[in-house]
Amino acid sequence: MYGSMTKRADAALIGAGPAGLAAAAYLARAGWKTVIIDKNSPGGTARQLELIENYPGFPDGIPGKELMRRFVRQARRWGARFVRARARGVRRRGSDFAVGTTAGNWECRALLLCSGARFKDLGLANEKTLEGILHGAFDEAPRLRGRDVAVAGGGEAAVHQALLLSRYAREVTLICRGPALKAMRRLQSALLRRPNIRTLTRSVVAGLRGKKKLAAVLVRDLKTGKISRLKTSSLFVLIGKTPRTGLSLFRKKSPGFFSAGDIHSGRFRQTAIAAGDGIRAAMACEKYLRGNR
C-alpha cells in the first residue's frame, strides 16, 4: 500500500509521550526492533509541564522536560529508533500493520497507539478561526502582561492556567460550568490568594465576538440565563480532554493492536499512569510478538 520505501520493525509506536516512551524502552530492552513515531519532539504533554510534583521518586519535583529527557535516554539506550513524523494512516496488511507517515512508511507486526488526548472544543462557530483562542495550557503569561484574559474550565488544568496567567495579566476571569471548581484544594487556596482572579461559577462561554481577532466573550449565567459581555483578546479553553483516536481504525481486540496512556485513561490522566499503562501495553505486545513469530 504505502510504496516501495517501506521500512520494517517488530513494533511501531505512535506517540512519544510518557506512555509511548515507557513502552518503547520496555520493548527495545526485550530485544524487539522498535520504532517510535512522533510529530513533535519526544516527551508529549508531560514535556511541557514546568514542574511535575507528583511523579513518584522525585520528592522535590522534576521539570517535565527533564523527566522526559530521561525517558528518551532510556529508550535510546536499548536501541529504540525515533522518527519525527506525523502518522497519517494505519491499516492492516495481512497479519501485519502498515503505517503511513509524513517521513516514510513502516510495516510492523505490532502497533501501539499512544497518541494521548486533546483539549475539547466549546463547539462555537468561530472558535477555530478567531485569533486569540487557545485550546490547552500554554506558557503565554508574559505576553499577556497587563491584559484582561479569560479561562474556560474549572478543573486542575484551568485553575493552574489561571494562576499562571495571574502573575502577569491585569485580571483573569475563570468561567466554570459547575457550581464549584473541581481542582484540588491546594490550587483552590492559591486561587483565593490572587485578588486579580475572578471566578464565575454556573457560567458558560455562549459566544465569541471579533472580526479576525477575539474581541469579547459572551458569558451565560446558567442560574439566570442572563448573557454578559466580557472584553478580552485571549481565551484559554480547558474544559476537559478527549482521546486522540483518529488513527484508531481497529477494535480493541484486533490482534497485535494495543493502546496506552491518556488515549484511554478517562479521568485518570497522569504521567505515572501513562508510563505504567505503556509498560502494561508493552508486556501484552511482547507476549503477542513471542506467540506470533
Residues that bind ligand FAD (CB under 6 A): 14-20, 37-40, 44-46, 49, 52, 54-55, 86-87, 114-116, 137, 157, 160, 244, 247, 261-262, 269-272, 274
Min dist CB 197 to ligand FAD, Å, is 17
Our CB check for ligand FAD shows the closer of 32 and 119 to be: 119
Q: Which one, 256 or 261, has the nearer CB to ligand FAD?
A: 261
Nearer to ligand FAD, 46 or 230 (CB): 46
| 157/169 with CB nearer ligand FAD | 157
Q: Which amino acid is at 62?
A: I
* Cβ 264 to ligand FAD shortest distance, Å: 9
In the complex with ligand FAD, the residue whose CB is nearer, 40 or 242, is: 40
Q: Which residue, 12 or 169, is less far from ligand FAD as judged by CB?
A: 12
Nearest approach, Cβ of residue 51 and ligand FAD (Å): 8
CB of 130 to ligand FAD, least distance (A): 22
HSE-CB for 148 with a 13 A CA cutoff: 10
Nearest approach, Cβ of 127 to ligand FAD (angstroms)? Answer: 19
**Comparison of 32 and 71: residue with beta carbon closer to ligand FAD:** 71
Output the smallest distance, CB 124 to ligand FAD, in A: 21
Cα–Cα separations (whole angstroms), residue 108 to 7, 42, 62, 100, 225: 9, 21, 35, 11, 55
**Least spacing, CB of residue 165 vs ligand FAD, in Å:** 13
Pick between residue 92 and residue 202 the one whose CB is nearest to ligand FAD.
Answer: 92
| Whole-number Å distance between alpha carbons of 64 and 262 | 16
Task: Output the 3-class SS for the chain.
Answer: CCCCCCEEEEEEEECCCHHHHHHHHHHHHCCCCEEEEECCCCCCHHHHCCCECCCCCCCCCECHHHHHHHHHHHHHHCCCEEEECCEEEEEEECCEEEEEECCEEEEEEEEEECCCEEECCCCCCCCCCCECEEECCCCCHHHHCCCEEEEECCCHHHHHHHHHHHCCCCEEEEECCCCCCCCCHHHHHHHHCCCCEEEECCEEEEEEECCCECCEEEEEECCCCCEEEEECCCEEECCCEEECCCCCCCCCCCCCEEECHHHCCCCCCCHHHHHHHHHHHHHHHHHHHHHCC
The distance of closest approach from Cβ of residue 17 to ligand FAD in the complex, given in angstroms and rounded to an integer, is 2
What grid cell was written down for 145? 502582561
